[in-house]
Amino acid sequence: MSKAKDAFKEIEGVIGSEFITDKDFMKAAYSRNVDPAFPDRWADIIVRPETTQEVSEIVKIANKYKIHMVPRGGGADLVGGSVTQGGILLDLTRMNRILEINEDDYYCEVECGITWGALLSELHPRGITTGVLGPGSGYSATIGGGLSNSTAGFGSTKYGLVPDICLGVEVVLPNPHGTIIRTGAAANKYAKPFCRYGVAPDFTGLFMGDVGTMGIKTKAFLKLFPESPVKAMRYYILNKNDYDKVFELAHKLRKEVGDGIRDLVVIPLIIAQLLSTQVEEKPLKRPRLKGPIFTIHMEAFDQRVLDIYIEKANEIMTKDNVARPFELQEMDLSAELSKDWKFNLKYAFNYFNMAISLGPPKISCTTCHKVPISSIPEVVKKATEFDAKYRKEFPPGSMSVFAMVLFFLPNGNCIFVGGFSADNVDAQRQIAMNMWHKKLRHQVHYGAAHYWLGESISQSIVEADAYTPEFMQFFRDIKKTVDPNFLLSPNKFHMYNYDYDYTKHIVRD
């Protein structure tokens, strides 16, 4: 019998036959994430544990047979992070319980396989929130995926990325003992998981944004916040396609409206123009679109305070005739007016989709990355030049713009959300993959920091020669401590074993 068959039998002995499979139709169902470039990849074994102890037992068996493992939450990854060729795919979505919602001390304890949609549906009726509401894919994406991908989402301008609300985790280390540890205050076995720092070094950080390379997160302790009861949304459109002004305005809004802004999203002119051609109910008059559109979500604890935020934002945006108030109805008669906008979870998980699905039926090789806001004008220029210079190397019919939207984060940085589109067909995969890595390396060279890294982005950072040899050695040493047999999430960061010479992947563009 092969070692996969032996391991299958032993794991089946631990979790029963209902939640383990090696059937082809199941392997096919788990063979992809959301991207057009990776080929289908089939795991040898797919397993759906229900408890931390079961995860630990599976890890021990994987170590016994030296079989690699990849953790998977909702599988909504865009960069090949939660699929595996061969090995064990650990689907964590049965670990979906809420263990505690502490309304007195504003934290909660959940299993990592719960979706954002399920958690927030419990919190919001109680008037509490996680602040950042997880990714646009939050109806299927999990808390574990959000922590592992350093996810941004609705609420990120004010509350930061998902790891920013994390107070600690319970993790199964991929070592031969399947060791279970807790981080944050919960590392003190007498303490509640109410804070992150002060018990030991911040080992929580080791597992944040690790794309499942350092451990299998089974529980998470998250900050909670009282939900601001009054909210408003306003649109403004710039009178010129001017990214120096985008920076200036974003900076001013940050400085003068501060935490009053829950989310700030800028839609580039080209995207607004494209959207206006695709809407169902076009207005009779062509829309006057001259510059990027600012979408400003504000919130407060009192209507009087909110009114001040609204007034201040209006003053900043309209001063010197730089921008004017705008309504989506100028492009689309079916859009709701900003004054009628009401927050709901459906909005939080759908607002991105308008831009993401611009060029159906293609899907995107995403290159979402963060840059400091002062470099916005330069990044727009560099990204546009890159796309023009390498136009012929993109997949046929592909669309690439510097960003579908710019999404602002708390301390003076913003995300260029975007990528380029390709058809989900075998004939285009290699072309798409080559261009994907090339574009990512270009971004790394202009100083970008990505957030989800999966395989394609983590490898591209290595290819761009971004890490010093000292950093790579440190990274490997730490990983070796938790994963001595190198079994968890191979391939990411071009790591294939501890002796592997990653420098042969460096590309001199």
- Near ligand FAD by CB under 6 A, which window of 139-147, 175-183, 303-311, 370-378? 139-147
Residues 6+ apart with CB under 8 A from 308: 260
| Three-state helix/strand/coil letters over 356-417 | HCCCCCCEEEECCEEEEHHHHHHHHHHHHHHHHHCHHHCCCCCCECCCCEEEEECCCEEEEE
406 binds ligand FAD (CB under 6 A): no
Q: Which of residues 424-453 bind ligand FAD (CB under 6 A)?
A: 451-452
Q: Which of residues 339-358 bind ligand FAD (CB under 6 A)?
A: 352, 356
Q: Which of 36, 49, 71, 291 binds ligand FAD (CB under 6 A)?
A: 71
Q: Which of 11, 14, 43, 216 binds ligand FAD (CB under 6 A)?
A: 216
Region of residue 481 (left: phi > 0; alpha: psi -120 to 50; beta: else): alpha
Q: Which of residues 254-313 bind ligand FAD (CB under 6 A)?
A: none
Residues 6+ apart with CB under 8 A from 345: 117, 120, 121, 124, 133
Q: Which is nearer to ligand FAD, 28 or 506 (CB)?
A: 28
Minimum distance of ligand FAD from residue 495's CB (angstroms): 14
- Near ligand FAD by CB under 6 A, which window of 74-82, 96-104, 180-188, 197-205? 74-82
Q: Which is nearer to ligand FAD, 174 or 395 (CB)?
A: 174
217 binds ligand FAD (CB under 6 A): yes
78 binds ligand FAD (CB under 6 A): yes
The two tokens of residue 456 are 């394609």
In this structure, are residues 285 and 358 in contact, taking their beta carbons and an 8 Å threshold? Answer: no
The two tokens of residue 386 are 């890159």
Minimum distance of ligand FAD from residue 394's CB (angstroms): 21
Q: Write the binding mask 353 to 382 for ligand FAD: x where contact by CB under 6 A, - elsewhere.
A: ---x--------------------------
Compute the distance between CA of residue 171 and CA of residue 72 in angstroms, rounded to an integer.
14
Which residue number has the CB closest to ligand FAD?
A: 145
DSSP assignments along 216-269, one per residue: EEEEEEEE-EEPPSEEEEEEEEESS--HHHHHHHHHHHHHHTGGGEEEEEEE-H
Beta bridge partners of 408: 414
72 binds ligand FAD (CB under 6 A): yes
212 binds ligand FAD (CB under 6 A): yes
Q: Which of residues 34-53 bind ligand FAD (CB under 6 A)?
A: 34
Compute the distance between CA of residue 368 and CA of residue 35 in angstroms, rounded to an integer.
13
- Near ligand FAD by CB under 6 A, which window of 23-31, 129-137, 336-344, 498-506? 129-137
Question: Peptide bond preceding 361: is omega within 30 degrees of 0, i.e. cis?
Answer: yes
Residue with tokens 């790579």: 472
| Three-state helix/strand/coil letters over 78-98 | CCCCCCCCCCEEEECCCCCCE
Compute the distance between CA of residue 118 and CA of residue 187 in angstroms, rounded to an integer.
27
Q: Which of 96, 151, 421, 443 binds ligand FAD (CB under 6 A)?
A: 151
Q: Which is nearer to ligand FAD, 70 or 401 (CB)?
A: 70
73 binds ligand FAD (CB under 6 A): yes
- Near ligand FAD by CB under 6 A, which window of 49-57, 121-129, 130-138, 293-301? 130-138
Compute the distance between CA of residue 81 and CA of residue 172 in angstroms, rounded to an integer.
19
155 binds ligand FAD (CB under 6 A): no
Compute the distance between CA of residue 125 and CA of residue 44 in angstroms, rounded to an integer.
42
Q: Which of 15, 59, 92, 403 binds ligand FAD (CB under 6 A)?
A: 92
Q: What is the total count of residues that contact ligand FAD (CB under 6 A)?
A: 38
Minimum distance of ligand FAD from residue 60's CB (angstroms): 17
Minimum distance of ligand FAD from residue 129's CB (angstroms): 16
Residues 6+ apart with CB under 8 A from 309: 232, 257, 260, 261, 298, 300
Write out the residues near ligand FAD by the rule CB under 6 A.
Answer: 33-34, 70-78, 81-82, 92, 112, 135-137, 141-142, 144-146, 148-149, 151-153, 211-212, 216-217, 352, 356, 451-452, 454, 489
